[in-house]
Amino acid sequence: MKLSVIIPSRFGIPQSLKTSLSNQTYKSDEVIEVIGSALTVQRNEGIKKATGDIILFLDDDITIKHHLFLFHFINTFYRYPNAVAVTGNVKVSMYKTNLLFAFLYEIYARIFRLLYRGKGRYFLSGFSENYHPEINTIIRGEMLYGCCMAFRKEIFNEFHFDESIENYMYGEDDFFAYPLSRKYDVYYNPFAICYDNRPYPKGKQAQKVRSTFINLIKRHKKRNPTFRMKIAFVWSMIGFTIFKIMEAIVMRDMSIIKGMLLCFRKQPEVNLDEIRKSISIKILQY
């Protein structure tokens, strides 16, 4: 199988990630660097340039430490011909596993049916589980980690990344994965490990929080929810709102509260054509 790796970036792919990809046992046929500031648009533009049978999307701020990372994605497609998408195992930085933070989250997640550790399924509310860290075999799931997800190229004849969402990111992977998983088979490979080592963005979360809330509502409406789905969504949103307030208190980060208040302020519209013109694409060979 021919493999194309698409990496959206604001300022270019870090050398450490380039080195990790060049050291892989299974080599990608091309790495497509898409420089811009609108994630969903960057991904869609990268797809147009990709020539691979399999298209793997990576974030530019992940770390890859194992030389079989790419092999595990390709091997999953070989082993499961019905698979149209495969996601990998994302190890998170320590701030996301703070004991108090994790304890409070686990309680609220189970009560309000929010994202917690499980088998990567979507709840009636539209929120999803993560994949449990103790899963040690390839399984069928539903959700996809946006920082490492691969697809058979032909799926993009039917699906695309939604360019109408707030800030062109934050929850964009669920916008894509939910309708895809209703129709096709999605797999999780726990051996395709990457690391999300971003530091906690204290004081810088206002826009992210605003966009997350707005996109959750947009995503819910797009699913043409039944009455039961609407009730489940409202319940989960209450829990999510409470949790974000708790996070602001525990992490002493008032930018979270600011972001929630910004939800009531209309943002200026951006011209998509201008965004596309600003995107720079470079194809790297390995």
Instruction: Measure the CA–CA gap between 149 and 85, rounded to whole angstroms.
Output: 7
Lowest mean pLDDT among 99-103, 105-109, 162-166, 209-213: 99-103
What is the per-residue pLDDT across 247-281, written as a single tens digit (0 to 9) for each? 899 889 999 999 999 999 888 887 889 999 999 99
Q: Which CATH number does the domain 3-284 belong to among 3.10.129.10, 3.90.580.10, 3.90.550.10, 3.40.630.40? A: 3.90.550.10
* Residues in contact with 162: Cβ distance below 8 Å, sequence separation at least 6, in sequence order: 40, 172, 175, 176
- Please count the other Cβ atoms lying within 10 Å of the Cβ belonging to residue 185: 16
Name the more confident of 102 and 45.
Answer: 45
* pLDDT number for residue 21: 96
* pLDDT number for residue 230: 97
Q: What percent of the chain has pLDDT over 90?
A: 82
* pLDDT number for residue 98: 60
Q: Which of 147, 169, 267 is nearest to 215 (CA)?
A: 169
Report strand pairing: 54-58 vs 3-9. Answer: parallel
User: What's the N-to-C CA distance of the chain in angstroms?
Assistant: 15
pLDDT at 97 over 70: no
Please give the torsion angle defined by the CA atoms of residues 222, 276, 271 and 209, in that order, rounded to the nearest 10 degrees: 50
Instruction: Measure the CA–CA gap between 2 and 29, rounded to whole angstroms.
Output: 6
What is the per-residue pLDDT across 98-140, written as a single tens digit (0 to 9) for each? 666 677 777 888 899 887 889 999 999 999 999 998 999 999 9
Q: What b-and-e string marks burial along 231-263, b requiring 16 or more CB atoms within 10 Å of the CB?
A: ebbebbbebbeebbeebbeebebebbbbbbebe
Instruction: Measure the CA–CA gap between 98 and 86, rounded to whole angstroms.
Output: 29
Average pLDDT over the chain reads 93
Name the more confident of 282 and 246.
Answer: 282
pLDDT at 285 over 90: no
pTM for the full predicted model: 0.93
Q: Which residue has the tokens 């490492």?
A: 148
Instruction: Measure the CA–CA gap between 84 and 90, rounded to whole angstroms.
Output: 20
* pLDDT number for residue 234: 97
The β-bridge partners of 30 are 4
Q: What is the DSSP letter of 245?
A: H
* pLDDT number for residue 286: 62
Instruction: Measure the CA–CA gap between 260 and 187, rounded to whole angstroms.
Output: 34
Instruction: Measure the CA–CA gap between 34 and 47, rounded to whole angstroms.
Output: 10
* pLDDT number for residue 95: 47
Find the angle CA(151)-CA(12)-CA(190) to the nearest 5 degrees: 35
Q: H-type helices in 89-226, by residue range?
A: 99-112, 172-183, 206-222
What is the per-residue pLDDT across 172-208, written as a single tens digit (0 to 9) for each? 999 999 999 999 999 999 999 999 978 888 999 999 9
